[in-house]
Chain A
Amino acid sequence: MRAIAPDLFIETPQGPRLLGGRRRESGEVVFPLPQGGERRFYEPMELSPHGLLWSWTVQRFRPKAPPYAGDEDERGFQPYAVGYVELPGEVIVEARLAFGAVEPRLGLAMRLEIVPFNHGADGVLQSCYIFRAEGA
């Protein structure tokens, strides 16, 4: 399994980490780590794997493809939660979310997880990042 994009998240001995960027000039933290011409203005930064739910919704129809690249077809589509998680002192990141039986509410404790997402054009299984509610 490979990441759906390079420089999006990394594995560390302590577990996975999203890769953000700290702007050298201002200290501002952004996610993802900017690429291309903007890359040189940012110091790569491992973001906290723990955060608090900032907002959420549930995607109940299959997004149009492209750009959506889920393996499933219209019939196999399963709604997924998506929203924002505040990483205290760093930045608020957008992510797919998993709540299990936990009722979503602002401030709910969430943790980062890497999960399988789809198969690339070459048939290789690809992973993405999600935040899962603690205890879910």
Chain B
Amino acid sequence: MSEVFIAGAGIHPFGRHELSGLDQGVFAARAALADAGVEWRDVQCAFGGSFAAGDADAALPRLGLTGVQFINVANGCATGGSALLSAYWAIKSGEFDLALVLGFDKHPRGSFNPAPADMGLPDWYGELGMMLTTQFFASKIQRYMALHGISRRTLGLVAEKAFANAVHAPHAWRRAPVALDDILNAQMVNDPLTKFMFCSPSEGGAALILASPARARQLGRDQIRLRGAAMRTRVKGSFEVFSPSLDIERGPSPAELAAKAAFEMAGLGPKDMQVLQLQDTESGAEIMHMAENGFCAHGEQEALIQAGATRIGGPMPVNTDGGCLACGEPIGASGLRQVYENVIQLRGQGGGRQVPGNPASGYTQVYGAPGVAAVTIIGR
């Protein structure tokens, strides 16, 4: 089995743009190629996807018709993570030396409105107004707050941090700070979450170049290893989006399972991680994912967040570019943005959002419908 290096990373800023989703993806791919110091014709295999902006291999006429093996990936909210995982396996197997990972998207405004039948659910579930991701996230944190003593103020602090960090992230969408009181007193969307506590569907593109050790050394891009990458789908007893019923006996979440698998692959543990990008579809998700990924016990988040532990100067900085709350969520690109941000942090290129102390390891976790989580661990 070969080691896997991240030789290049590129991004198209997230937000709302004139440009098509595809063109944002192509922009990110070109940026990643330039960052790695390679030409498109050097790429041996490519994996890419979008959720709502078309087939990723539509990038081929733009990037060049080189005959490259390009595989479109469609895997719901784990589309970007699954494209990365595919390229990781391809390099790790020893079959390939250079791979491109591409994710982009462009969503209409407002909440997602999937068709029940597409997810194997009856029509009445959508007709009654129960098939909304925002409801799931609100219900999950509502119960979690009651069981584990998380306050509304802590929900607000997560959002306040996101916008404060994004001020220094050129690729973020919402880059103006928002005061804690404004977050707490804003329009309620799904109780207990106000509009500033939810991320919005947005647009953007992100791309990575993965390389074998020999190729990475040849390019002089052998600084950052992809030490572990794992994805898991839901198991029985997990509380998932779009569930008309749940088992009374509770089980682990896909994030818990993916985290455990990735830590085992990397031979590292939560205490070794110095910069964390955790899925923050809404404020509560970041809080719950801190524990699900093993960075604290359930309930400890209250004291940790109140003490500033997850801020950039703290012992476990989370979502240093503002996460989904400040970048929005273009589904196909979102998980790759997290990895891009960790690459920037490990290179010390974070500018005003740089985690101090020369961080040597980074952790990402993406989560989404219909109950999938993908984790990466990178390290110098």
Residues of B close to A63: CB separation below 8 A? 111, 113, 129, 131-132
Q: Is A83 an interface residue (CB 8 A)?
A: yes
Q: Is B246 an interface residue (CB 8 A)?
A: yes
Q: Is A49 an interface residue (CB 8 A)?
A: no
Report which of A31, A88, A93, A128 forms a contact with B128, defined as CB distance below 8 A. Answer: A128
Q: Is A80 an interface residue (CB 8 A)?
A: yes
Report which of B115, B129, B138, B244 forms a contact with A93, defined as CB distance below 8 A. Answer: B244
Report which of B135, B147, B245 forms a contact with A59, defined as CB distance below 8 A. Answer: B135
Report, as a range, how many residues of chain B touch the other chain: 35 or more
Residues of B close to A1: CB separation below 8 A? none
Q: Is A30 an interface residue (CB 8 A)?
A: yes
- A65-82 contact mask (Cβ, 8 Å, vs B): 1 or 0: 111111000000000101
Report which of B115, B143, B147, B191 forms a contact with A60, defined as CB distance below 8 A. Answer: B191
- A37-74 contact mask (Cβ, 8 Å, vs B): 1 or 0: 00000000000000000111111110111111110000
| Stretch in B4-12, B50-58, B65-73, B116-124 with 4+ CB within 8 Å of A | B116-124
Question: Once bound together, how far apart are the Cα atoms of A16 and B122, in whole Å?
Answer: 20
Q: Is B270 an interface residue (CB 8 A)?
A: no
- B243-274 contact mask (Cβ, 8 Å, vs A): 1 or 0: 11111100000000000000000000000000
Establish whether residues B142 and A56, one from each chain, have CB atoms under 8 Å apart when the complex forms.
Answer: yes
8 A Cβ contacts from A77-136 to B: 80, 82-84, 86, 88-96, 105-106, 117-118, 128
- B135-146 contact mask (Cβ, 8 Å, vs A): 1 or 0: 100111011001
Q: Is B127 an interface residue (CB 8 A)?
A: yes
Residues of B close to A57: CB separation below 8 A? 135, 138-139, 142, 190-192
Establish whether residues B245 and A94, one from each chain, have CB atoms under 8 Å apart when the complex forms.
Answer: yes
Establish whether residues B245 and A31, one from each chain, have CB atoms under 8 Å apart when the complex forms.
Answer: yes
Establish whether residues A55 and B142, one from each chain, have CB atoms under 8 Å apart when the complex forms.
Answer: yes
8 A Cβ contacts from B92-115 to A: 110-111, 113-115
A residues touching B (Cβ–Cβ < 8 Å)?
4-5, 8, 20, 28-32, 35, 54-61, 63-70, 80, 82-84, 86, 88-96, 105-106, 117-118, 128
B residues touching A (Cβ–Cβ < 8 Å)?
110-111, 113-116, 122-132, 135, 138-140, 142-143, 146-147, 187-192, 243-248
CB pairs A–B below 8 angstroms (26 shown): A4-B128, A5-B123, A29-B245, A30-B245, A31-B244, A55-B139, A55-B142, A57-B139, A57-B142, A57-B190, A61-B189, A63-B111, A63-B113, A66-B113, A67-B113, A67-B114, A67-B115, A67-B116, A67-B126, A68-B128, A69-B127, A70-B129, A83-B139, A91-B245, A92-B248, A106-B143
8 cross-chain pairs, A with B, having the tightest CB-CB distances, nearest first: A67-B126, A57-B138, A69-B127, A64-B113, A55-B143, A31-B245, A5-B124, A92-B246
